[in-house]
Amino acid sequence: MPRTGLVLSVDGSHATISTMKRGVCESCSESGACNANVSIIKEKPEVVVADNTLGARPGEMVDFDLPDGQELRVSLLVWIVPLVGMLAGVAAGALLAERLPVSQDAAAVLGATLGLLAAFGVLRIIDRRAETDERLTLKVTRVVSTNESCELQQADPADPAEIVQLPVR
């Protein structure tokens, strides 16, 4: 799903973009009425870095996105891996309950906890490998003309608390 943001700076082929955090406008009845989603003014923006192959300049509004539906794949991965880990842990805990000096329910809860921890470990490994995956790099997809844009509150790119670290090549 494309997002819109304000280009704060350009460094070579990468643009630093101030944008709203996800979920801000999805429940708004006026969603889509403002191309830049003015509700960012109420919400502290985040700063992301995207490939700037279109040559957007600081001060311009841009649309950016992950290429080829990668966002859906990543979302499914983040939800499915922990679910599978937890369910596998529950099943393993229930099967091992006979060998443990605890009830089947307690063993299942312990197994679910261990399965969830193992799944998060797997996600951590996948995340580290994804840092070098070109398919998971944000890309500027369109420069929005200034007459379409709305006024936005800018995030401070020097404030580490406001910057979302994404892989950049």
pTM, whole model, 2 decimals? 0.57
| Structure confidence at residue 138 (pLDDT) | 85
Contact yes or no for 41/152 (Cβ under 8 A): yes
| Structure confidence at residue 12 (pLDDT) | 87
pLDDT of 113-158, one tens digit each?
A: 999 999 999 999 988 887 777 777 888 888 886 544 444 444 455 5
Residues of the chain with confidence (pLDDT) below 70:
21-43, 145-169
